[in-house]
């Protein structure tokens, strides 16, 4: 990957907005209640690269951008791909710059590929981020297996506390071991079945669900119930994710 492209995934991780735009004014803002200094700019948004759904229609609008304190400030008329986070909402949008890259870094060759398929110019970089996240999560797992949920059963009595995890046990029928000291066959795995806000986002296996499972060692006293547990939504992946883990992902 070219050096200039390596910065883009890092900028995407740090920012909620990215767009192609042109500096229209310096020392000015589109909102009256935003502090203005020499690094405050009005930017014309040409194309939104990524943004929260509510802000996907920013193209052909003007936003206020507080340019990063470090680095050379762009001049009026300069065009770039800007990465930023929101600082104020109102009649317009105020953003704080995280970083920027030359417009050509996202327009070519990524932009040409995206245009041909009707996709976002940053989709390739976003896919790279997802691959990196999957690999990082897999590296932290104590075991990785492919299997199907054969049985679900309550592992402990539900506690009186509203935040009790309500531990249940899923029995996986493991047919492939990718990582860890596990053998094919039946394997008990704990999971938090509570829908309390503290546990709502924890992975909850379903009967008959098959795929790739990233397992974590259970601590005492839970290890007496099952050696492994799943906690995160990322602990379950489609079996095709094996290609990514083995370095064959696209």
pTM score of the predicted model: 0.62
The answer to whether residues 115 and 21 belong to one domain is: yes
| Domain's final residue, options 103, 132, 161 | 132
Answer whether residue 250 is part of any domain: no
Instruction: Give the SS3 label for residue 105.
Output: helix
- Asked if 207 and 138 touch (Cβ cutoff 8 Å), the reply is no
Instruction: Choose among 40, 44, 22: nearest CA to 32.
Output: 40
Helix axes 123-140, 110-117, angle to 10 degrees: 100
When divided into structural domains, the chain yields a total of 2
Average confidence (pLDDT) over 84-90: 93
Read off the pLDDT band of 114 (50, 70, 90): very low
| Domain's final residue, options 132, 152, 168 | 132
57 is in which domain, residue-wise?
3-132
CB atoms within 10 A of CB 112: 10
The answer to whether residues 148 and 126 belong to one domain is: no
The answer to whether residues 29 and 126 belong to one domain is: yes
Joined together, the tokens standing for residue 95 give: 């953003």
The answer to whether residues 151 and 44 belong to one domain is: no
How many angstroms separate the CA atoms of 135 and 249, rounded?
A: 11
Q: What is the pLDDT of residue 122?
A: 67
Answer whether residue 104 is part of any domain: yes
Containing H/E element for 156?
none
Rounded CA Rg of the chain = 24
Confidence check: pLDDT of 4 > 90:
no
The answer to whether residues 174 and 239 belong to one domain is: yes
Answer whether residue 158 is part of any domain: yes
Instruction: Give the SS3 label for residue 241.
Output: helix
- Predicted confidence (pLDDT) per residue in 126-164, tens digit: 777 788 888 989 999 999 999 999 999 999 887 667 789
The answer to whether residues 36 and 7 belong to one domain is: yes
The answer to whether residues 124 and 234 belong to one domain is: no
Residues 6+ apart with CB under 8 A from 246: none
Identify the CATH number of the domain in which residue 172 sits: 2.40.50.120
Whole-number Cα distances in Å, 102 to 17, 53, 58, 248: 16, 25, 20, 30
Read off the pLDDT band of 204 (50, 70, 90): very high
Identify the CATH number of the domain in which residue 110 sits: 2.40.50.320
């Amino acid at each position: 990957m070219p050096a200039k492209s390596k910065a883009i995934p890092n900028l995407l991780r740090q920012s909620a907005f990215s767009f192609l735009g042109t500096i229209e004014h310096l020392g000015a803002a589109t909102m009256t209640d935003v502090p203005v200094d020499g690094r405050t700019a009005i930017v014309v948004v040409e194309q939104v690269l990524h943004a929260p759904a509510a802000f996907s229609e920013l193209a052909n609008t003007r936003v206020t951008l507080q340019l990063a304190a470090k680095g050379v400030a762009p001049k009026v008329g300069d065009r770039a791909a800007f990465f930023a986070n929101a600082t104020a909402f109102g009649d317009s949008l105020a953003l704080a710059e995280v970083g920027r890259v030359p417009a050509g870094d996202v327009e070519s060759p990524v932009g040409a590929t995206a245009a041909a398929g009707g996709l976002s110019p940053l989709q390739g970089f976003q896919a790279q981020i997802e691959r990196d996240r999957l690999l990082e999560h897999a590296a932290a797992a104590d075991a990785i297996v492919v299997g199907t949920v054969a049985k679900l059963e309550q592992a402990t009595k539900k506690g009186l506390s509203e935040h009790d995890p309500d531990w249940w046990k899923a029995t996986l029928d493991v047919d492939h071991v990718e990582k860890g000291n596990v053998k094919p066959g039946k394997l008990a795995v704990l999971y938090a079945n509570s829908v309390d806000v503290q546990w709502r986002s924890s992975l909850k296996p379903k009967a008959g669900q098959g795929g790739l499972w990233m397992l974590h060692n259970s601590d005492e006293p839970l290890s007496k119930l099952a050696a492994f547990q799943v906690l995160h939504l990322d602990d379950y992946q489609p079996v095709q994710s094996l290609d990514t883990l083995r370095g064959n992902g696209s």
